Structure 1
Amino acid sequence: MQTPASKPVDSQTLNQRLRALYSSQLPEIQRLITNNSPTIEHIHGPFMMHVYPEYVQAPKKLLFVGMETYGWAPFRTDEAAEETYRRLTEAYTNFTEQEHAQYAGRKSPYWRFMEMLSQAYGVENFLKATLRTNLSKIDVNKGRPSGKLYDNTMQAFLALLCQEIEVIQPDMVIILTTDPNYCWHLNEQFGFWKDGNGRRSEIIAKRLFRLESPKLPVPTYQMCHPNRLRFLRGGFKNNADEIIQEIVLEMS
């Protein structure tokens, strides 16, 4: 569990800590992937974050957690950990810089929700001032892994998420899916089963939950995928506003 820092930590220090974390975990991640997939063709990732100075300076440090990437840098087993780290964090920064240059509020509900919640906390330039990761650090053909590959990597990826949280010390974590496939693994990792040591509390029926677990040392929320809000009564904007208002109220 994280402890309050004696002084603010700069982005360079956080990136050094992330590099050490990812490099230490890569051999096990590569082993799990190669042992549980008949081929590594079409596998992308693992997803790695890069911290910008804007995140450290933000009035509220937000970590958004999606399901899996929709295509990313290809998975490789024939390179050193440092090269993998460089290549995959470069994918993160290249994507962020490209989106930053082109973003004009016309993105999907997924991106629009992240921007709206960021704005509610006075976080400007949200693409650089927030952090993004995924429950599954890999995708296969731009989709969720399946079978043995999925089942045998997810607990490792969720354990890695806990370590990422300890490093980057967000003020809040928002998991952007209630997909049952992912919820099963979340329940297992964080003890949300009936006899576990975690707790999932419903705040807005089927749309917003508060997660509490010894492994989640910061306020953590789980919500339905933002795209689903388009199909609920009231449409995307009204439902997104209601969720954001509840989160802000909970955190006040």
Structure 2
Amino acid sequence: MNQIGEQLQVMYLEYWNRLKGALADGNVNLHSLSNPFLIDADEPYQEASIKVLFVGKETNGWGQYIDHVDREPEEAICDLQNDYIRFRRDGKWGHTPFWRACRIIYDKLNTGGPKDGYMTSNLIKLDQNRTRPSPEVEEIICNNFPLLPYEIKILSPDVVLFFTGPYYDDRLQRTFAGSVLDSVNGMPLNLLCRVIHDKLPYHSYRTYHPGYSLRGNKAKVARFDPVVDAIVNLVLQKY
């Protein structure tokens, strides 16, 4: 495991038992929860000229938390990080909107760079029944497993793109307390905005999940182009 992976593992260990205890106190049905989405940095990310982190909403299934909850935390965390690396290298879901969008934007920012040299994470680290947790369970997860700001600190990306859409803005602004959503190039705020916070790099933006525009007919797909162009042009002004 590389240095970034080790730093992430230490941070994950700090919160593992805290989440477990809070879920037990809240009498949450553990069978309804996915595994935590724990990441590790593969070599291509470390070699990319412009380091990009894409942040989704929550997983749409990622194994079952119940299978790992009572294991030794170090072993469980290591296995989940290895699952992330295997998933990324396998590329089985590369055709889906989220991963297509990541690849499109990353490639435009890193012309000729290492293949798939970007990172991904989630705003909410566990899903419930393959979708966003109930408000009560979401509170427990996010209050006791507040990993994303620490992942960003460890990964030190140049660009963070939140593919979370406006309906997750409440969670986004609670994760980054005091953050401001600012308009970009006169585009509607719900379509694209810059997320301003001292724990985020300057180039941090929130837009819709790519499933909004990259799933369906060509007319829908074309809606994604202005968002991509705006983000890429803003970032490349610096480089």
TM over 0.5: yes
| Paired position in structure 1 for 2:233 | 249
**Cα distance per residue 1:27-85 (max 9 Å; x no partner):** 11222233234320131121100111110001211101001111113213211111111
Give the corresponding residue for 1:199: 180
Give 2:99's match in structure 1, choosing from 84, 107, 111: 111
2:84 counterpart (72, 76, 92): 92
Contact 1:32 1:149 in 2 (8 A): no
Distance across 1 between alignment mates of 2:88 and 2:5: 16
Task: Find 2:120's aligned residue among 126, 132, 149.
Answer: 132
131, 137, 150: which one aligns with 1:149: 137
- Opposite residue 248 of structure 1, the aligned amino acid is V
Q: May I ask how many residue pairs the two structures share in their alignment?
A: 229
Matched residue, 1:224:
208
Matched residue type, 1:68: E
> Counterparts of 1:172 and 1:152 in 2: how far apart (Å)?
28
**Structure 2 contact 160–201 (Cα < 8 Å) conserved:** no
Q: Alignment RMSD, CA only?
A: 2.2
Q: Which residue of 1 aligns with 2:152?
A: 165
Task: Write the letter of the residue equivalent to 1:228.
Answer: Y
Structure 1 unmatched ranges of 5 or more:
1-10, 192-196
In 2, distance between residues paired with 1:163 and 1:96?
Answer: 21
Equivalent residue in structure 2 for 1:190, among 158, 167, 176 = 176
1:8 maps to none
TM-score (structure 1 length as normaliser): 0.82
User: Aligned runs of 1:46-61 on 2, under 5 Å?
Assistant: 46-61=36-51
Gaps of 5+ in 2: none
Q: Against the structure 1 CA distance between its residues 216 and 236, is the aligned structure 2 distance closer, same or farther, given a 3 Å change threshold? A: same
Matched, 1:17 2:4: no
Asked if 2 retains the 8 angstrom alpha-carbon contact of 1:65 and 1:173, the reply is yes
1:149 Cα deviation after fit = 0.9
> How far has the Cα of 1:97 moved from its partner?
2.3
Q: Which residue of 2 aligns with 1:4?
A: none
Deviations 1:135-176 (A, max 9, x none): 11101221111032112222444x421111110111110000
